[in-house]
Structure 1
Protein backbone atom coordinates (compact mmCIF):
# COMPACT_ATOMS: atom_id res chain seq x y z
CA UNK A 1 0.00 0.00 0.00
CA UNK A 2 1.44 3.36 -0.99
CA UNK A 3 1.82 6.01 1.68
CA UNK A 4 0.64 9.51 0.92
CA UNK A 5 3.29 12.19 1.08
CA UNK A 6 2.48 15.80 1.89
CA UNK A 7 2.38 18.27 -1.01
CA UNK A 8 5.43 20.39 -1.73
CA UNK A 9 3.30 23.55 -1.95
CA UNK A 10 1.78 25.20 1.13
CA UNK A 11 -2.00 24.74 1.41
CA UNK A 12 -4.29 27.46 0.10
CA UNK A 13 -6.92 29.19 2.22
CA UNK A 14 -9.60 27.00 0.63
CA UNK A 15 -7.66 23.83 1.40
CA UNK A 16 -7.17 24.91 5.01
CA UNK A 17 -10.86 25.73 5.46
CA UNK A 18 -11.92 22.42 3.88
CA UNK A 19 -9.44 20.41 5.96
CA UNK A 20 -10.49 21.96 9.27
CA UNK A 21 -14.18 21.62 8.36
CA UNK A 22 -13.71 17.93 7.55
CA UNK A 23 -11.80 17.16 10.78
CA UNK A 24 -14.12 19.08 13.12
CA UNK A 25 -17.50 18.36 11.48
CA UNK A 26 -18.18 22.09 11.22
CA UNK A 27 -19.40 23.83 8.11
CA UNK A 28 -16.92 25.71 5.97
CA UNK A 29 -18.68 29.00 6.85
CA UNK A 30 -18.33 28.29 10.57
CA UNK A 31 -14.61 27.59 10.18
CA UNK A 32 -14.20 30.80 8.17
CA UNK A 33 -15.97 32.81 10.89
CA UNK A 34 -13.72 31.28 13.57
CA UNK A 35 -10.62 32.30 11.60
CA UNK A 36 -12.03 35.80 11.07
CA UNK A 37 -12.68 36.20 14.79
CA UNK A 38 -9.13 34.97 15.53
CA UNK A 39 -7.82 37.60 13.10
CA UNK A 40 -9.88 40.25 14.90
CA UNK A 41 -8.54 39.19 18.30
CA UNK A 42 -4.95 39.34 17.05
CA UNK A 43 -5.51 42.81 15.55
CA UNK A 44 -7.08 44.03 18.81
CA UNK A 45 -4.13 42.85 20.91
CA UNK A 46 -1.43 44.19 18.56
CA UNK A 47 -2.85 47.66 17.98
CA UNK A 48 -1.35 50.62 19.90
CA UNK A 49 -3.60 50.40 22.97
CA UNK A 50 -3.61 46.61 23.05
CA UNK A 51 -1.38 44.26 25.03
CA UNK A 52 1.32 44.23 22.34
CA UNK A 53 1.45 40.45 22.06
CA UNK A 54 -0.86 37.54 21.25
CA UNK A 55 -0.25 33.94 22.28
CA UNK A 56 -1.74 31.07 20.29
CA UNK A 57 -1.37 28.41 23.03
CA UNK A 58 1.32 25.86 22.31
CA UNK A 59 2.07 27.08 18.79
CA UNK A 60 3.29 30.65 18.52
CA UNK A 61 3.54 34.06 20.09
CA UNK A 62 3.04 37.22 18.03
CA UNK A 63 4.69 40.37 19.38
CA UNK A 64 5.10 43.98 18.31
CA UNK A 65 8.79 44.82 18.09
CA UNK A 66 9.77 48.45 18.55
CA UNK A 67 12.86 49.86 16.86
CA UNK A 68 14.15 53.20 18.16
CA UNK A 69 14.91 56.17 15.92
CA UNK A 70 18.48 56.55 14.66
CA UNK A 71 20.26 59.84 14.12
CA UNK A 72 22.11 60.76 10.96
CA UNK A 73 25.77 59.79 11.24
CA UNK A 74 28.99 59.95 9.31
CA UNK A 75 30.82 56.84 8.24
CA UNK A 76 33.34 55.50 5.77
CA UNK A 77 32.39 53.61 2.63
CA UNK A 78 34.33 50.32 2.98
CA UNK A 79 34.79 49.95 -0.79
CA UNK A 80 36.02 53.40 -1.77
CA UNK A 81 37.28 54.68 1.58
CA UNK A 82 35.48 57.99 1.15
CA UNK A 83 33.52 59.59 3.97
CA UNK A 84 29.74 59.61 3.63
CA UNK A 85 26.66 60.50 5.67
CA UNK A 86 24.06 57.88 6.60
CA UNK A 87 20.50 59.25 6.73
CA UNK A 88 18.46 59.39 9.94
CA UNK A 89 15.80 56.70 10.38
CA UNK A 90 12.52 57.26 12.25
CA UNK A 91 11.30 54.93 15.00
CA UNK A 92 9.33 51.99 13.63
CA UNK A 93 7.34 48.96 14.70
CA UNK A 94 7.48 45.44 13.29
CA UNK A 95 5.68 42.17 13.92
CA UNK A 96 7.67 39.27 15.37
CA UNK A 97 6.39 35.70 15.40
CA UNK A 98 8.06 33.40 17.90
CA UNK A 99 7.54 29.63 17.66
CA UNK A 100 6.69 27.89 20.93
CA UNK A 101 7.76 24.43 22.09
CA UNK A 102 5.00 22.40 20.42
CA UNK A 103 5.61 24.06 17.04
CA UNK A 104 9.38 23.57 17.32
CA UNK A 105 8.92 19.87 18.07
CA UNK A 106 6.80 19.43 14.91
CA UNK A 107 9.75 20.29 12.66
Structure 2
Protein backbone atom coordinates (compact mmCIF):
# COMPACT_ATOMS: atom_id res chain seq x y z
CA UNK A 1 0.00 0.00 0.00
CA UNK A 2 1.40 3.39 -0.98
CA UNK A 3 1.31 6.69 0.80
CA UNK A 4 -2.01 8.50 1.13
CA UNK A 5 -3.00 12.14 1.08
CA UNK A 6 -5.87 12.95 3.44
CA UNK A 7 -8.14 15.99 3.35
CA UNK A 8 -10.27 17.05 6.29
CA UNK A 9 -13.35 19.24 5.86
CA UNK A 10 -14.21 21.24 8.98
CA UNK A 11 -16.98 23.61 9.94
CA UNK A 12 -16.47 27.16 11.25
CA UNK A 13 -15.92 25.87 14.81
CA UNK A 14 -13.27 23.38 13.71
CA UNK A 15 -15.44 20.26 14.01
CA UNK A 16 -14.51 17.53 11.58
CA UNK A 17 -17.23 17.01 8.94
CA UNK A 18 -15.66 14.68 6.38
CA UNK A 19 -12.44 12.90 5.45
CA UNK A 20 -11.24 12.22 1.90
CA UNK A 21 -8.18 10.22 0.82
CA UNK A 22 -6.21 9.59 -2.35
CA UNK A 23 -2.92 7.88 -3.13
CA UNK A 24 0.00 10.26 -3.46
CA UNK A 25 0.65 8.73 -6.88
CA UNK A 26 -2.53 10.38 -8.19
CA UNK A 27 -5.21 7.79 -7.48
CA UNK A 28 -8.92 8.48 -7.33
CA UNK A 29 -10.29 10.41 -4.36
CA UNK A 30 -12.17 8.26 -1.86
CA UNK A 31 -14.79 9.59 0.57
CA UNK A 32 -13.75 7.80 3.78
CA UNK A 33 -15.80 9.34 6.61
CA UNK A 34 -18.76 11.65 7.13
CA UNK A 35 -19.62 12.85 10.63
CA UNK A 36 -23.33 12.81 11.52
CA UNK A 37 -24.65 15.77 13.49
CA UNK A 38 -27.98 16.72 14.99
CA UNK A 39 -27.90 19.11 17.94
CA UNK A 40 -24.55 17.50 18.78
CA UNK A 41 -22.35 14.80 17.31
CA UNK A 42 -24.42 11.66 16.70
CA UNK A 43 -21.94 9.36 15.04
CA UNK A 44 -20.16 8.57 11.80
CA UNK A 45 -20.88 7.21 8.34
CA UNK A 46 -18.05 5.40 6.55
CA UNK A 47 -19.09 5.31 2.90
CA UNK A 48 -15.66 4.38 1.51
CA UNK A 49 -16.82 5.67 -1.88
CA UNK A 50 -14.62 6.29 -4.91
CA UNK A 51 -15.92 9.71 -5.96
CA UNK A 52 -15.00 9.19 -9.60
CA UNK A 53 -17.18 6.14 -10.12
CA UNK A 54 -19.60 5.48 -7.21
CA UNK A 55 -23.00 6.82 -6.31
CA UNK A 56 -22.90 7.92 -2.64
CA UNK A 57 -26.71 7.88 -2.08
CA UNK A 58 -26.79 4.19 -3.02
CA UNK A 59 -24.17 3.47 -0.34
CA UNK A 60 -26.25 5.25 2.34
CA UNK A 61 -28.73 2.35 2.35
CA UNK A 62 -26.04 -0.28 2.98
CA UNK A 63 -25.90 -1.49 6.57
CA UNK A 64 -22.73 -1.67 8.61
CA UNK A 65 -21.42 1.71 7.46
CA UNK A 66 -23.14 3.95 10.03
CA UNK A 67 -22.06 4.14 13.68
CA UNK A 68 -24.00 5.94 16.42
CA UNK A 69 -22.66 7.12 19.77
CA UNK A 70 -24.77 6.73 22.92
CA UNK A 71 -23.82 8.90 25.91
CA UNK A 72 -24.69 8.94 29.60
CA UNK A 73 -25.55 12.62 30.05
CA UNK A 74 -28.09 14.80 28.28
CA UNK A 75 -26.78 16.13 25.00
CA UNK A 76 -27.91 19.64 25.98
CA UNK A 77 -25.14 19.74 28.60
CA UNK A 78 -22.55 18.86 25.97
CA UNK A 79 -20.48 16.84 28.45
CA UNK A 80 -21.81 13.33 27.88
CA UNK A 81 -19.29 10.52 27.82
CA UNK A 82 -19.70 8.09 24.96
CA UNK A 83 -20.88 4.95 26.74
CA UNK A 84 -21.34 2.79 23.68
CA UNK A 85 -21.15 2.80 19.91
CA UNK A 86 -23.67 0.80 17.91
CA UNK A 87 -23.87 0.05 14.20
CA UNK A 88 -26.90 0.24 11.96
CA UNK A 89 -26.61 -3.53 11.47
CA UNK A 90 -29.12 -5.52 13.50
CA UNK A 91 -29.01 -9.07 14.78
CA UNK A 92 -32.17 -11.19 14.72
CA UNK A 93 -32.33 -13.01 18.06
CA UNK A 94 -35.42 -15.23 17.75
CA UNK A 95 -37.59 -12.43 16.38
CA UNK A 96 -36.07 -9.71 18.56
CA UNK A 97 -33.88 -7.33 16.65
CA UNK A 98 -30.86 -6.04 18.53
CA UNK A 99 -28.22 -3.51 17.44
CA UNK A 100 -24.66 -4.56 16.76
CA UNK A 101 -22.56 -3.17 19.61
CA UNK A 102 -19.19 -1.94 18.38
CA UNK A 103 -17.87 -0.82 21.77
CA UNK A 104 -19.21 -0.31 25.30
CA UNK A 105 -17.78 1.32 28.43
CA UNK A 106 -18.98 1.88 31.95
CA UNK A 107 -17.98 4.87 34.04
CA UNK A 108 -17.96 5.53 37.78
CA UNK A 109 -19.27 8.84 39.18
CA UNK A 110 -15.80 10.41 38.93
CA UNK A 111 -15.81 9.81 35.16
CA UNK A 112 -13.08 7.19 34.88
CA UNK A 113 -13.48 3.80 33.29
CA UNK A 114 -14.75 1.46 35.98
CA UNK A 115 -12.40 -1.53 35.75
CA UNK A 116 -14.76 -3.76 37.76
CA UNK A 117 -17.71 -3.42 35.41
CA UNK A 118 -16.13 -3.13 31.94
Query: How does the TM-score come out when normalised to structure 1?
Result: 0.28
Q: Which has the higher strand share?
A: 2
Q: More relative contact order in 1 or in 2 (CA 8 Å, sep 6+)?
A: 1
Q: Which structure: greater helix fraction?
A: 1
